[in-house]
Amino acid sequence: MRAYSASAEESVDARNLLKDWLAESFLTREQYDRMEPDTACDLRRTNIFLRVVLFLFTLIIVAAAAGLFFVLVLDRSSSQSTGVFLLVCAAASYASAEFAVSQFHLYRYGIEEALAVCSVGFLCGGLLALLSSSTESLVPAAGILASLWIWHRFGLPYAFLAAMIFVIWLAPYWTSSHSAQHTIVAVFYATGLIAVIAARPRDHSIVEALLWLGIYLAINLQLSSMDLLRQWWLGPASTTEFPRAFYWTTWVLIWLLPPAILVRGILRKDRLVIAVGTIAALLTLITNKPYLGWQRHTWDPMLLGALLIATALLLRRWLAAAPNGIRHGFTAQRLSAKDKQWMSIGSAALGLATPQAITPPHQPAAPGPHFGGGTSGGAGASSDF
Amino acid sequence: MTILTRLEQWKEQGILSPDQHSLLSALSRAEPFSVFLELNLLLYAGILAFVAGLGWTVTTWSQQLGDVLILAALSAILAACFWYTFSRAPAWSVAEVPSPSLLFDYVLYLGSLVWSVELAYIENRFHLLSGQWDLYLLATAALYFVLAYRFDNRFVLSLALSSLAGWFGLTISHFPSHQDATYRQYAIVYSLFIAAAGAITHRRALKPHFFGTYLNIAANVLFWALLSGVFIRQNSALWLLALLAACAASLAWGISRRQFAFVAYAAVYGYIGISSILLREMNSGAALLAYFAVTGAAMLIMLVAIARRFGKEA
């Protein structure tokens, strides 16, 4: 059912590992050159930058071609004709994606990904035009199924994320109760999680992490409530939107879920699940006061920052104190060249973004959306007091 | 065939030594499991949250706490950070120097951010330079450059480049008119300046690993400035020529150095610039869509050719 053979994908993984080990000097260049031909496969790949650009231009071509045909041939036609046309586009896009994979062996190449994504978009658009308002709930349902198929067939994790978003779209068709909607979404994700844990598909790690995150976001009413902006800017959330028992049950759950996710991630040594567990724990700390209706203080971020720094340092110290710096199979040492690469990219990008993010704006003049102008630079030296 | 089977084969073929085989087998099974990246992210998020809270608290409570207490607290944090970094710094080298500890880079980053908060507080309360923010920014940028090169810190280098950009921007905000054009010119001057500075330091082997940061920032600022020139009606042909020249240079650089981010910059910025000129007088929806379908296909063919020839991942 998968568009790529398991052996080909394992060869890709093996080649990635060899590159990583070479960069980390676990292998010599000579060893790498002798081992690398053994990982050859017929899949055609490209680097991340070209992949993104190829994805964007494929989207432009497909959308423009469909739009052009519609304008020239189907303009002022009925919604039924439009719907049928979009369904034909969906089928054509999907067939093109399959053709690109089977004939040209494209793998994470941008083009086949964009075609697969377009097929889901056209399918939903076509159904939206064809169906009446009473059967409109079939649109997100079809979106879920199509996205899951794309994920299963091509192994694109963001297709699974799209399926999760379609679940959110589906819930309001079944009930107008906000608490019931949150419950439906959480139950859907939990069912998916059980299925993923049981079946353990090839890319189960990222999918499991997404589902854990989805469940957490669905039950944290401070994050997933419809009037999120009002709550965050105008004051703490009121409990009146939700039944009291439901509200406080979710409060208990947002405290129980992060440790559960973290334990699972640590036991399975799953980096993405650990990351989601950490994010969930942070979000719980950040949203706890609004949940309880308590007032925020200006020093709250300082306390949170101190907690994070202390946690990192204690953890590092605890791991480093063990023989060879390894405790229970975990180490604080860098073992992958990818980590260094991520750190280099992240430090440059985050260092640039930091001043805007953490300092209140002040300007003697109002430069507007221009280059520089002080609001984007100065590492906060233009803060106002 | 799993990676473990492959490793076994390579050992039997004599490519891997038994020690290497056991090491790589363990690594491929995530034994041990490294949390290096996670610890760094926790520290970064912690520093960011701490400084955000510090700035917020100082802003909100400056009247109640008083200048002396605030300045004493900020100075104490600053002094502690700089004492830590200067006392534990490894010997300086022109080459890349690994950080002596996990915490080291982040303490320097914290100190740099607290310096900015304190400086802003002093100027706002005492107006020592009568609102001459550009001088503060220039001095701050200079300090950050020194710290970044002394301690080999990319976070602080980015702060330095950002502060320098702020200085360029603030300097011209004093000019009363034609700010758009002036900003554009200064953005180009800024990008050329930092690209040249990066190239010179790279050529002289002075922290050559910083070159990528310089070049990426310079390229993006330059492309934005040129694009904003293309979007205006006056002299847009000249701006387009300059944009195309920059795209050609970026493309050539990206292909020759196998840095495909620059190929992507050339493709995206170039396409936006040319399209904005060609579509300016186009009113027909069909013509617009035809343009995107045809030019998008042309771009796709060109990019696939580049990807097949130069950009193979495998």
Query: Do residues A120 and A162 touch, judged by C-beta distance below 8 A?
Result: yes
Specify the pLDDT at position A230: 52
**Long-range own/partner contacts, residues B201-205 (CB < 8 A, 24 or more apart):** B204/B94, B205/B94, B205/B95
Chain B: closest CA distance from residue A374 (Å): 4
List the structure tokens of A169. 């779209």
* Cβ-Cβ contacts under 8 Å, A68 against chain B: 286, 289-290, 293
Among B113, B217, B313, select the one facing A45 at the smallest CB separation.
B313
* Cβ-Cβ contacts under 8 Å, A35 against chain B: 6, 10, 15
Q: In terms of Cα–Cα distance, which of B166, B30, B96 is closest to A379?
A: B166
Residues whose CB is less than 8 angstroms from the CB of residue A287 and which lie 6 or more positions away in sequence, other chains included: A220, A222, A223, A254
Strand partners, A256: none
The pLDDT tens digits of the residues spanning A217-257 come to 999 998 875 455 455 545 555 556 788 899 999 999 999 99
Query: Do residues B150 and B206 touch, judged by C-beta distance below 8 A?
Result: no
- CB contacts < 8 A, A to B, total 389
- Concatenated DSSP letters for B32-81? SEE-HHHHHHHHHHHHHHHHHHHHHHHHHHHHHH-HHHHHHHHHHHHHHH
Specify the pLDDT at position B178: 53
Q: What is the pTM of this model?
A: 0.87
* Cβ-Cβ contacts under 8 Å, B44 against chain A: 346, 350
Residue % of chain B over a pLDDT of 90: 62
The pLDDT tens digits of the residues spanning A81-115 come to 999 999 999 999 999 999 999 999 999 999 999 99
Query: Do residues B38 and A331 touch, judged by C-beta distance below 8 A?
Result: no
Specify the pLDDT at position A371: 36
What b-and-e string marks burial along A203-219, b requiring 16 or more CB atoms within 10 Å of the CB?
Answer: ebbbbbbbbbbbbbbbb
Specify the pLDDT at position A354: 61
Residues whose CB is less than 8 angstroms from the CB of residue B2 and which lie 6 or more positions away in sequence, other chains included: A10
The pLDDT tens digits of the residues spanning B42-64 come to 999 999 999 999 999 998 888 88
Specify the pLDDT at position A239: 55
pLDDT band per the 50, 70, 90 thresholds, residue B232 = confident
SS3 A75: coil
Specify the pLDDT at position B186: 86
Give start and end residues of each alpha helix (H) in A155-203.
157-174, 178-199
Q: In terms of Cα–Cα distance, which of A235, A223, A242 is closest to A283?
A: A223
Query: Do residues B268 and B254 touch, judged by C-beta distance below 8 A?
Result: no
How many CB atoms are located within 10 Å of the residue B221 CB?
22
The pLDDT tens digits of the residues spanning B233-289 come to 788 889 999 999 999 999 999 999 988 999 999 999 999 999 999 998 888 889 999
Residues B131-137 have a mean pLDDT of 78
Q: In terms of Cα–Cα distance, which of A60, A48, A50, A345 is closest to B266?
A: A50
Q: Which residues of chain A have pLDDT under 50?
A: 226, 229, 233, 356-385
Question: H/E element holding A282?
Answer: helix A271-292
Specify the pLDDT at position A237: 52
Specify the pLDDT at position A185: 95
Chain B: closest CA distance from residue A134 (Å): 33
Query: Do residues B33 and A331 touch, judged by C-beta distance below 8 A?
Result: yes
Measured CA to CA in angstroms, residue A38 lies from A32, A35, A44, B9 at distances of 10, 6, 16, 10
Specify the pLDDT at position A113: 96
DSSP strand pairing (B33-34 vs A330-331) = parallel
Please indicate if any CB of chain A lies within 8 Å of the CB of B136: yes
CA B66 to chain CA centroid, Å, is 37
* pLDDT for residue B172 is more than 70: no
Specify the pLDDT at position A374: 38
Please indicate if any CB of chain B lies within 8 Å of the CB of A73: no
